[in-house]
Amino acid sequence: MAYKNLNDCITDLEKHKHLVRIKEEVDANLEMAAIHLRVHEIGGPALLFDNVKGCEFKAASNLFGTMERSRFIFRDTLQTVQQLIALKDNPLGIIKKPLLAFKARMALPKKISGAAVQYAQTTIEKLPQIKHWPMDGGAFVTLPAVYSEDIEKPGIMQSNLGMYRIQLSGNDYEMNKEIGLHYQLHRGIGVHQTKANARNKPLKVSVFVGGPPANIFSAVMPLPENMSELTFAGMLGGRRFRYTYDNGFCLSADADFVITGEVHPHENKTEGPFGDHFGYYSLKHPFPLMRVHKVWHRKNAIWPFTVVGRPPQEDTAFGNLIHELAGNALPKEIPGLKELNAVDAAGVHPLLLAIGSERYTPYIKEKKPQEILTIANHILGTGQLSLAKYLFICSKEDKPQLNTHDIQNYFSHVLERIDFTRDVHFQTKTTIDTLDYSGTEINSGSKVIFAAAGEKRRELSTTVPEINLPDGFSNPKIAIPGVLIIQAKYSAQIQNLKFKIRNSEIPLIVIADDAEFTARTLNNFLWVTFTRSNPSNDIYGIDEFTENKHWGCRGSLIIDARIKPHHAPVLEKDAATEKKIDRLFAKSGSLYGLK
Return the ∠ at Cα 337 (arms to 334 and 339), rounded to 5°. 125
Nearest 5°: CA angle at 480, between 474 and 484?
25
- Greatest CA span in the chain, whole angstroms? 78
Tell me which of 89-103, 394-408, 436-450 is least confident: 89-103
In angstroms, rounded to a whole number, what is the distance separating the alpha carbons of residues 336 and 444?
29
Element (H, E) at 46: strand 46-49
Cα–Cα nearest to 202, from 136, 266, 246: 266
Pairing of strands 444-452, 424-431: antiparallel
Note whether 383 and 417 are within 8 A (CB). Answer: no
Task: List where CATH 3.40.1670.10 sits in the chain.
Answer: 315-452
Distance CA(321)–CA(313), nearest Å, equals: 13
pLDDT at site 587: 62
User: Average pLDDT for residues 521-547, to the nearest whole number?
Assistant: 97
Contact 124, 176 (CB under 8 A): yes
Which segments of the chain belong to CATH 2.30.110.10? 6-309
pTM comes to: 0.91
CA-to-CA dists, residue 574 to 140, 160, 167, 369, 580, angstroms: 18, 37, 21, 48, 10
Residue 16 pLDDT exceeds 70: yes
454: left (phi over 0), alpha (psi -120 to 50) or beta: left
The strand pairing partners of 34, in sequence order, are none
- The mean per-residue pLDDT over the stretch 2-18 comes to 96
Backbone φ, ψ for residue 268 (5° rounding): -125, 160
Q: Which of 403, 257, 314 is nearest to 132 (CA)?
A: 314
Q: What is the band of 95 on the pLDDT scale with cuts at 50, 70, 90?
A: very low
Superfamily of domain 6-309: Electron Transport, Fmn-binding Protein; Chain A (2.30.110.10)
The pLDDT value recorded for residue 94 is: 45
Segment 96-107 shows an average pLDDT of: 57
Sequence letter at residue 25:
E
Q: What proportion of the chain, given as a percentage, has pLDDT over 70?
A: 93
Q: With beta carbons less than 8 A apart as the criterion, state whether 306 and 210 touch.
A: no
Q: Helix, strand or coil for residue 587?
A: coil
Give per-residue pLDDT as tens, 345-361: 999 889 999 999 998 87
CB-based contacts of 256, cutoff 8 Å, min separation 6 = 5, 6, 209, 210, 211, 297, 298, 301, 302, 303, 304
- 383/373 Cα distance (integer angstroms): 18
Q: pLDDT tens digits, residue range 290-313?
A: 999 999 999 999 999 999 999 999
Lowest mean pLDDT among 179-193, 253-267, 384-398: 179-193
CA neighbor of 110 nearest in space, from 247, 255, 239, 259: 239
Virtual torsion, Cα 15, 16, 18, 20, nearest 10 deg: 30
Q: What does the pLDDT look like over 140-152, one tens digit per residue?
A: 999 999 999 999 9
Query: How many helices and strands in the chain, by DSSP H and E?
Result: 17, 30
Residue 272: what are its φ and ψ, rounded to 5°?
100, -175
Establish whether the linkage from the previous residue to 273 is cis, with ω within 30° of 0. Answer: yes
Q: Could you give the angle at the alpha carbon of 529 between the alpha carbons of 414 and 433, nearest 5°? A: 100
Tens digit of pLDDT for each residue in 191-234?
899 999 999 999 999 999 999 999 999 999 887 666 789 998 99
- Reported as a pLDDT band with limits 50, 70 and 90, residue 102 is very low
| pLDDT at 101 (0 to 100) | 53
- Please enumerate in sequence order all residues whose Cβ is within 8 A of that of 450, keeping only pairs 6 or more positions apart, or say none: 390, 391, 392, 393, 414, 418, 423, 424
Residue 517 pLDDT > 50: yes
Q: Average per-residue pLDDT in the chain?
A: 91
- For 436-488, the pLDDT digits (tens) are 899 988 889 999 999 999 999 999 999 998 888 989 999 999 999 999 999 99
Cβ atoms of 33 and 132 within 8 Å: the answer is yes
DSSP helix/strand/coil, 105: helix
DSSP string for 183-199: --TT-HHHHHHHHHHHT
Say whether the peptide bond before residue 481 is cis (omega within 30 degrees of 0). no
* Confidence check: pLDDT of 589 > 90: no
Task: Find the Cα–Cα–Cα–Cα dihedral 197, 201, 203, 204, rounded to 10°.
Answer: 180
Q: Is pLDDT at 286 greater than 60 in this prediction? A: yes
Q: Got the DSSP string for 459-475?
A: ---SS-----PPTTEEE
Q: What is the CATH number of domain 315-452?
A: 3.40.1670.10
As a whole number of angstroms, the distance between CA 551 and CA 155 comes to 50
Nearest to 412 by CA among 420, 424, 404, 422: 404
* Residue 565: alpha-carbon gap to chain centroid: 25
β-partners of residue 47 are 20, 61
Name the range with the highest mean pLDDT among 239-243, 314-318, 586-590. Answer: 239-243
pLDDT band at 104 (very low <50, low <70, confident <90, very high): low
